[in-house]
Structure 1
Amino acid sequence: MDIFKNIILKIEQLNEQTVFQEVQADFHIAFGIDKNFARGMGILIDAIHSHNTEEKIVFHVFTDGINQSDLDKLKKLTVYQNIIIKIYYIDINVFKNLPTTLAWSYATYYRFIMGKVLYGTVDKVLYIDADILCIGSLAELKNIDMGENIVLAISEEGQFNVKRLGIQQGKYFNAGALYIDINKWNAAQIAEKAVGLLQENPEKYTYLDQDVLNILLDGKTCFIDRKWNYLYDMRKMNSELPKGVVFIHFIGDKPWQRWSEHHFMVSFYNEYAKKTPWANVPLVEPIHYKDKKRMARSFVKRNMYMRALYWYGSYAISKITAKK
């Protein structure tokens, strides 16, 4: 039984007219998002275009829904002649029995189905998270020899996850950016097996889909330079970027969240954002008690202690209320 049969409810192409066909594309780039990440994805699409104006790119957006305001903004990006944007609306019932967290919604599993849906029309697809910013050319990526591997990825530092999951190849990858050979992905039934593992033992996998993909792609991953998925945690890092970075991946707090505005990397991100239809969209305000705690810490870092005290108080009240 094909668990992914009829999972796509509707496909919508945002471009009314295009100057190239999908088969002529230099890159196919895919996203898996819910409505909360449409802004980040839109800014990323614009940034990719700005650094790759000579490349023909098709963007495949897998989602369970996008707010109309964000959809209208995405349509404005189709003024660029070298891109096509397609929206694939997903029936999320397939994933309803898989685990989620406050940080990861069902959208984290949408990367499973891209290979299934695009099979037969696309040979390779670059999957990237929407909390990434592109600051360089992609041209070099398509010349990397994948050999017999299914994906290109970057390894995370440390051996904790390698030992925790028994990864034989000795490296654990971050799934925020994966260059995928679709034919090999489908032949190995990665999507079906990933869902199966999560259904069998969901408690085992701390990082959900990322963990099971590491298990299934153990020995089938070609590890490439970290410039293709440079992990940057604004909660802990205050360093400048190394030279040559192509993708900055904002793990942890995001540059469009109010509690991140103190960090200098937010100004860097906003240089890209202000060129897009999301330029004047307000920052996301804290709602959950964990966000309010982050807000308090943000004011501490700016030596604004009275404001920090206010937010610590709001955090405490919200946490108590949430537990009732």
Structure 2
Amino acid sequence: MELFDNIILKIEQINMKRNVEECQTDFHIAFGIDKNFARGMGILMDSIHCHNQEKNISFHVFTDGIEQQDLAKLQELTQYNNISIKIYYINIEAFRNLPTTLAWSYATYYRFIMGKVLHGLVDKVLYIDADILCIGMLDKLQTMDMKGNIVLAISEEGKFNVNRLSLKNGKYFNAGFLYIDINKWNDAQIAEQAVALLTENPEKYTYLDQDVLNILLDGKTLFIAQQWNYLYDMRKMDNKPPKDVIFIHFIGDKPWQHWSEHHFMVKLYQKYAQKTPWANVPLVKPKHYKEKKRMARSYRKRNMYLQALYWYLAYAVAKIKAKS
């Protein structure tokens, strides 16, 4: 049996209006999420539509499950005539042997199977993480010459990961944005090799799937401008994105989390969120001990010391329970 046989349990088209796939699709965009990232993905979809209203866009969502309220909100997005949303429900058992962390669930591996599922239907697909906001047009991506490479990606700064993984091309990409040539991806068996590497030696790869994809795509990646995946760290309060940015990628803390509400970039994110069905959904509250520590730091930065003390105590208690 092939590795990814029967991995898709069900496919669901959720359009309210006409099927965009009946028309010429300008962009195929894919996501891999669990239920916790449905809100971020929906707001991202709406922001993409906002800046690309003249393009027909097919969204492909790979997930192990979405809450009914989020599914209904996604369906509301399809009131736009140029948007199609198809959901691929994944059998999560195929990934049980792969490592996960507090930050990364099995959903981080769903990008592996997109090439298999979309083969024969799509020539190129843009994979993007759900913790991204679109603030520009995608036109130039359509006309980019991939020069025989399998993916287009954006490099991360620093040589640490390059040296750690012995990458010959001297660059390490962030896997939150991958413009993929589906046929070349499948011909090179990227997905199968990625799973094999992670299964054989999971402790070796600090950033899990991102590490193994960098190894397998070393010399097969065309690095493009940072504007396509501008990595934004919300811990840096005075960092403003350049004017030509198309995708802002919120690494680390997310703008829909309660402990990020002090950051000025949340206002930009909320401007887009208010146009979506998630406009009145409360910010996510901290659950595990690391998030409670971030909540404490958020109050401390605002000089709200009693609230900060409360959350530092909550963090300490939660950490002791987690370690016991």
Q: TM-score range by the shorter chain?
A: over 0.9
> Any unmatched runs of 5+ in structure 2?
none
Q: What does residue 163 of structure 2 align with?
A: 163
What amino acid sits opposite 2:178 in the alignment? L
What amino acid sits opposite 1:26 in the alignment? D
Between the aligned partners of 1:151 and 1:6, the Cα distance in structure 2 is 26
Q: What does residue 268 of structure 1 align with?
A: 268
Q: What does residue 175 of structure 1 align with?
A: 175
Which deviations, in whole Å up to 9, do the C-alpha atoms of 1:14-49 show, x marking residues without a partner? Answer: 014425436710000000000000000000000000
Q: 1:4 to 1:23 in 2, by over 3 A?
A: farther
SS at match of 1:153: strand
Q: What does residue 318 of structure 1 align with?
A: 318
1:29-108 equivalences in 2 (<5 Å) = 29-108=29-108
CA contact (8 A) 2:230 2:249 kept: yes
Between the aligned partners of 2:138 and 2:253, the Cα distance in structure 1 is 25
TM-score by length of 2: 0.98
Q: What does residue 9 of structure 2 align with?
A: 9
What amino acid sits opposite 2:228 in the alignment? W
> Any unmatched runs of 5+ in structure 1?
none
SS at match of 2:78: helix
Which deviations, in whole Å up to 9, do the C-alpha atoms of 1:268-303 show, x marking residues without a partner? Answer: 100000000000000000111111100010011111
Which deviations, in whole Å up to 9, do the C-alpha atoms of 1:216-262 show, x marking residues without a partner? Answer: 00000000000000000102352111111000000000000000000
Q: What does residue 197 of structure 1 align with?
A: 197
CA contact (8 A) 2:237 2:263 kept: no
Number of residue pairs aligned between Structure 1 and Structure 2: 324
Question: After alignment, is 122-131 or 17-26 more displaced?
Answer: 17-26
What amino acid sits opposite 1:190 in the alignment? I
CA contact (8 A) 2:16 2:75 kept: no
Q: 1:22 to 1:231 in 2, by over 3 A?
A: farther
Which deviations, in whole Å up to 9, do the C-alpha atoms of 1:87-133 show, x marking residues without a partner? Answer: 00000111000000000000000000000000001000000000000
Percent sequence identity is 75
TM-score by length of 1: 0.98
CA contact (8 A) 1:23 1:121 kept: no
Between the aligned partners of 1:10 and 1:204, the Cα distance in structure 2 is 34
